[in-house]
Structure 1
Amino acid sequence: MNFNQQIISKNQQIILPLLNQKKVTLFIKREDLIHPYVSGNKFRKLKYNISEAIKLKKKSIVTFGGAFSNHIAATAVAGKLAGLKTFGIIRGDELGKNLAQTLLENDTLRVAYENGMKFNFVSRELYRQKNSFGFIEKMKNKWGDFYLIPEGGTNCLAVNGCKEILTEEDANFDYICCAVGTGGTISGLINSLKKHQKVIGFPALKGAFLSEEVKKYVVKREHWKLQKGYHFGGYAKYNEALINFINSFKEQTGILLDPIYTGKMLFGILDLIAKDTFKENTKILAIHTGGIQGIAGINQQLKSKNKEIIKV
């Protein structure tokens, strides 16, 4: 994978009875097809960060994440492709007590491990201090000089990468929709909007802090909003209705969604369409930000509870 290349994803139209009934056009930008692991917004966020690390002659990357973080897996794969060592500070010290067992049960960490990432499992209390000067200095003493990428990958370089998601051909859409985690992707989209367009973000987690995070990176204060009613209880939370929706959507469209981000976004978009939130002849573009690799871990959880799994 060449991190200097310009990648343009195809837009796939969604055909559903509801859309025909409400006279609303919906397309999905297939960012998930960029790469099996460095896909969607992960490629966009890492693109300029990888280039910067190389430019600064860094030999390694350090980043943060939870046990099922798409960002952790993507960083490990991207680092290997770029010839950089990767280190992951993982929330949950219990995961490091039996690494072999953890890797057996966790596809995300196994992918990262198999692509050369070294782990440092820390307690949740210590993890909350990850941005402190003392914490970073300890990491430098342990791993030497490194390039630091924040949790979720969001920084100014990541936002610049996400600006490249939209192309001139996307100017005919009225609304751009995306899932929101740390705010980097939606910030890039807002910064590349045309004057007539609006962005709707669907947060995957609870909390009122996201708006302030987005405002740190955007040059436009208008033409965007966060639709906060579709987080399904918070980050990595899901229920039977969401799993059923994901399976039904895959059956009808051939597009696989994940239950952390894109599944919640599409559930929300179609629910808003059903409630006549959008007027007739509205054109919507939803960004598929990837995250498919995390489904294996979710399915393991579902199987352990004898619940319906996501059909891949």
Structure 2
Amino acid sequence: MGGQTGEHRPALEVRSPVTELSDDRLGAVRLLLKRDDLIHPDFPGNKWRKLAGNLAAAAEQGAETLLTFGGAYSNHIAATAAAGWHFGFRTIGVIRGEEHLPLNPVLARATQQRGMQLTYLDRTRYRAKRDPALLAELAARFGPFYLLPEGGGNELAVHGCAELAAELVGQVPDVDVVVCPVGTGGTLAGLAGGLGPDRRAIGVSVLKGGGFLAEEVASLQRAAFGHETTNWRVVEEFHFGGYARRTPALNAFIDDFAKRHGLVLDWVYVAKMMCGLFAMVQDGRIPAGSTVVAVITGRCADAVRP
């Protein structure tokens, strides 16, 4: 894939481990964590699942450049930059909003260590990211590119996340419910499609005003599978102020989780999902007696013990 030399090609353990979580707040619910954050340091969580098929397609098409969209703290932007560095593609990141210097750690690493070139669109123009006229303008400026949509969610990504579902069912055959965070819908679309009708998938939106996400998931399923499945839903009340926003309540949950379990949760995606999961256990939306798998889609870290 691409033109990078072999020593930079990542050795990826695609089959990620599952660990069981013991927590007295769960009552009669059995909870396991699907640790996709351990696949590779540059491709934590769901990023390799979404990227692998697209990188193969880009290489088959002879593309030299990957262009994608994302927010200033986007894990997808970081993973695309890393993919370009590892596999020999030039990368362009189209960032929502104005440039802020110095760059935050996500964008600084993408540019300074992984060679991504950034450009910015104000929020009004960014909403037109699928407009052919805007894409033509970007092609005129940067040259031909292979387009990765915001969050990496397209048919190839959905199929990659369906393979994730098959993998975790093989590891936890009695799973009833799979929970994941939702930013663009691709992971939830693939998981639900891969789980089959007898298991449920719940997506926890990390966006304020995420009511549009249900149609995004349905649209991705139609494109990938030719039909929608009925075994999923999106819950919207655990966004904690919106994308890349956090509140004292979320911070307290992260701190408490780290003390209990020795794991510092990614606050942009995973912590919101886990907080929502515990709330849904306590209010009965996840019934007692269920076996639940939470997919860790973002970078987490071991807690520092005193």
Provide the TM-score with structure 1 as the length reference.
Answer: 0.86
Moved more, 219-228 or 49-58: 219-228
Give the letter aligned to residue 187 of structure 2: T
Q: Deviation at 1:4? A: 10
Is 1:33 aligned with 2:38?
yes
Report what 2:179 is aligned to. Answer: 177
Contact 1:262 1:289 in 2 (8 A): yes
Structure 1 counterpart of 2:79, which letter?
A
Given that 1:50 and 1:79 are in contact with CA atoms closer than 8 Å, whether structure 2 keeps it comes out as no
Contact 1:176 1:198 in 2 (8 A): yes
With 202-211 and 165-174 compared, the bigger mean Cα shift is at 165-174
User: What SS does the corresponding residue of 2:263 show, helix, strand or coil?
Assistant: coil
- Kept after mapping to 1: 8 A contact 2:12/2:39: no
For structure 2, the residue ranges without an aligned partner over 5 or more in a row are: 1-7, 222-226
CA contact (8 A) 2:36 2:45 kept: yes
| Partner deviation per Cα, 1:168-193 (whole Å, 9 max, x = no partner) | 22331010101111000000101111
Residue 273 of structure 1 is aligned with which of 276, 281, 288?
281
Structure 1 residue aligned with 2:109, among 93, 102, 111?
111
Shift of 1:288: 0.3
Q: Take 2:86 and 2:288, find their aligned partners in 1: how far apart are those partners? A: 46
SS of 1:217's equivalent in the other structure is: helix
Q: Helix, strand or coil for the counterpart of 2:260? A: helix
**Partner in structure 2 of residue 16 of structure 1:** 23
Q: Is 1:250 the equivalent of 2:250?
A: no
The percent of aligned pairs where both chains have the same amino acid is: 38
Match of 2:231 among 219, 223, 232: 223
The letter of the residue matching 1:157 is: L
- Supply the distance in 1 between the matched residues of 2:159 and 2:176 (Cα, whole angstroms): 22
Q: In structure 2, what is the equivalent of residue 89 of structure 1? A: 94
* Counterpart residue number, 1:158: 157
1:67 is matched with 72
What residue is the counterpart of 1:207 in the other structure?
A: 210
Contact in 2 for aligned 1:245/1:267 (Cα 8 Å): yes
Distance in 1 (CA, whole Å) between partners of 2:247 and 2:98 is 27
Q: Distance in 1 between matches of 2:82 and 2:123?
A: 25
CA deviation after TM superposition for structure 1 residue 236, in Å: 1.9
Alignment match, 1:102: 102
Deviation at 1:220, TM superposition (A): 4.2
Paired residue total: 287
Task: Give the CA RMSD over aligned residues.
Answer: 2.1
Would the aligned equivalents of 2:13 and 2:40 in 1 still touch at CA under 8 Å?
no
**Mapped partners of 1:102, 1:176: distance in 2:** 39
Amino acid of the residue matched to residue 53 of structure 2? Y
Which residues of 2 match residues 117-156 of structure 1 at below 5 A? 117-156=116-155
Distance 2:157 2:285 in 1: 31
Q: Which moved more, 1:195-204 or 1:86-95?
A: 86-95
- Residue type matched to 1:208 in 2? G
Alpha-carbon offset, residue 234 of structure 1: 2.0
Partner residue in 2 for 1:52: 57
Gapped runs of 5+ residues in structure 1? 96-100, 294-309
**What is the CA-CA distance between 1:54 and the residue it aligns to?**
0.5
Query: Compared with structure 1, are the counterparts of its residues 154 and 278 closer, same or farther at alpha carbon in structure 2 (3 Å cutoff)?
Result: closer
The CA deviation at 1:2 is: 5.9
User: Offset of 1:225 from its aligned partner?
Assistant: 1.3
Q: Residues 13-52 of structure 1, C-alpha deviation per residue, up to 9 Å, x if partnerless? A: 1111122xx2110001000111223111111111111111
Q: CA deviation at 1:311?
A: 7.3
SS at match of 1:192: helix
Quote the residue 1:188 is aligned against. Answer: 190
What CA distance in whole angstroms lies between the structure 1 residues aligned with 2:304 and 2:118? 30
